[in-house]
Copies of this chain bind each other. A is one copy, B any other.
Amino acid sequence: MAEQPEFTVTPYEVKGRIDYARLREQFGTQEIDAPLLERLAKVTHGPVHPLLSRGIYYSHRDLEGLLAQYEKGQPFFLYSGRGPSGPLHLSHLVPFTLCQWFQEKLGVPMYIQITDDEKFWARSKLSREETVRWGYENLVDILALGFDPAKTRVFFDSRSIAALYPLAIRVARKIPYSTVKAVFGFPPSTNIGLVFYTALQTVPCFYPSWETGKAVPCLIPCGIDQDPHFRVTRDIAESLGYPKPTLIHSQMIPGLLGEEVMSTTGNEEDNALFLNDPPKTVERKLRKAFTGGRASVEEQRRLGANPEICSVWALWKTRFAETPEKFEQVTQDCRSGALLCGDCKGELIERVHTFYQHHQKAREKVAGTAEELIITQAPKPD
């Protein structure tokens, strides 16, 4: 019997080689399968986003229920967030890219949470100034993806606390310490801010229902590592009179150094492509990125390479192969040996440069609008 691979996935730690099918089973979530993708395509009047069709979003909780309601005329809202510990890298864009697609297709509202308090609590070396500054920078990056300002609102935790706190008070009473200890694996040395935090991450799920006095369904695209937060949310939702949020979970985007996750927590900077990396840095990082290539050109021409383990192919898959045809071509040419790693990287580097230029322009356009999207007051007295 093969030994089971060991891995840990929580919002605060990803360890080991992740078996995503097993993780889904461990977490008890459903698979996003072909019939569900078809239904999504029907609802959104066209092909689904590549992040869905290519299986990066692969797991869900209650998506069928949300779609059934939507099909009957009940709109939902989108919610995703960012813990601002530094500049965004490409993997951070994944949930927001999918949210922006949903908003564009369905015209639904988007709520973005910037968790500058949580990151300060989670990273003892970060200063408040840093989490706040990165919060604004990250928010502009997110908005630059094309969200409709008329349908987009922001919880910037330290700025929005007056709006968040009335609901957070009610939420926090429902969550015993023993639950967060079990769900997040917190040791006793965990600070009381982080212990409390999941209450604040729950609030946006209920906020539009609280504001309107009607049950408004919530769809949360997030990395599967964030599922524990919302499991807690789902467990308490009904007792507070709010609908359980629906989740769709993505796999983690692998790091450039062959790490399981594109993250620089405890890793080298070169493991991730940051949105503020200058062109030369992008090129250097991608040139040395881990691939599924062979030991020699000759061998690769003969046997082909392995895209499944390649950090460069993961980037094509996630964002840079815009059409199914392009993605198919890159994948087949990699497998067949027709495409060598150097050429593949060269082509990708060009596309990343183009995306970064486009993104920079989009940033400049939206930078001035960020401030007015931040919710600073509760909609009504508690």
CB contacts (< 8 Å) of A165 on chain B: these are 117, 158, 161, 165
Interface size of A as a range: 35 or more
Interface code A186-208, partner B: CB below 8 Å = 1, 0 otherwise? 10111111011011000000000
Interface code A134-170, partner B: CB below 8 Å = 1, 0 otherwise? 0000000000000000000000001001100110011
Contact check, B382 vs A128: say whether CB atoms are below 8 A apart: yes
**In whole angstroms, what is the CA distance A44 to B231 when docked?**
58
Measured CB to CB, the closest approach of chain B to A350, in angstroms, equals 42
* Max chain B C-beta neighbours (<10 A), residue from A128, A132, A173: A173
Contact check, B192 vs A188: say whether CB atoms are below 8 A apart: no
CB contacts (< 8 Å) of A191 on chain B: these are 172-177
**In whole angstroms, what is the CA distance A376 to B376 when docked?**
12
Contact check, A196 vs B193: say whether CB atoms are below 8 A apart: yes
Contact check, A172 vs B158: say whether CB atoms are below 8 A apart: no
Closest to A124 in B: B173
Measured CB to CB, the closest approach of chain B to A131, in angstroms, equals 9
- Copies of this chain in the oligomer: 2
Given A161-B161, A161-B162, A192-B199, decide whether A117 and B169 contact each other with a Cβ distance below 8 A.
Answer: yes
Query: A120 interface residue, CB < 8 Å from B?
Result: yes
- Secondary structure class of chain A's binding surface, majority of residues: helix
Query: A296 interface residue, CB < 8 Å from B?
Result: no
CB contacts (< 8 Å) of A180 on chain B: these are 192
Query: A101 interface residue, CB < 8 Å from B?
Result: no
CB contacts (< 8 Å) of A382 on chain B: these are 128, 132, 158
Measured CB to CB, the closest approach of chain B to A83, in angstroms, equals 14
Partner of A176, one of B162, B166, B169, B188: B188
Closest to A164 in B: B161
CB contacts (< 8 Å) of A199 on chain B: these are 192-193
Measured CB to CB, the closest approach of chain B to A133, in angstroms, equals 11
Given A161-B165, A166-B158, decide whether A172 and B188 contact each other with a Cβ distance below 8 A.
Answer: no
Query: A178 interface residue, CB < 8 Å from B?
Result: yes
Closest to A174 in B: B191
Contact check, B193 vs A177: say whether CB atoms are below 8 A apart: no
**In whole angstroms, what is the CA distance A189 to B382 when docked?**
26
Given A128-B169, A169-B117, decide whether A177 and B195 contact each other with a Cβ distance below 8 A.
Answer: yes
Q: 20 pairs across A/B with beta carbons < 8 Å?
A: A117-B165, A120-B169, A120-B173, A128-B166, A128-B169, A128-B170, A158-B165, A172-B192, A172-B193, A173-B191, A175-B192, A176-B188, A176-B190, A177-B186, A177-B188, A177-B189, A177-B190, A177-B192, A180-B192, A192-B199
- Known: A176-B188, A176-B190, A180-B192; 17 extra A-B contacts, CB below 8 A, are A120-B170, A121-B169, A132-B382, A158-B165, A158-B382, A161-B161, A162-B162, A165-B165, A169-B193, A172-B193, A173-B191, A173-B193, A177-B186, A177-B191, A177-B192, A192-B198, A192-B199
Residues of A near any B CB (own CB < 8 A): 117, 120-121, 124, 128, 132, 158, 161-162, 165-166, 169-170, 172-178, 180-181, 186, 188-193, 195-196, 198-199, 376, 382
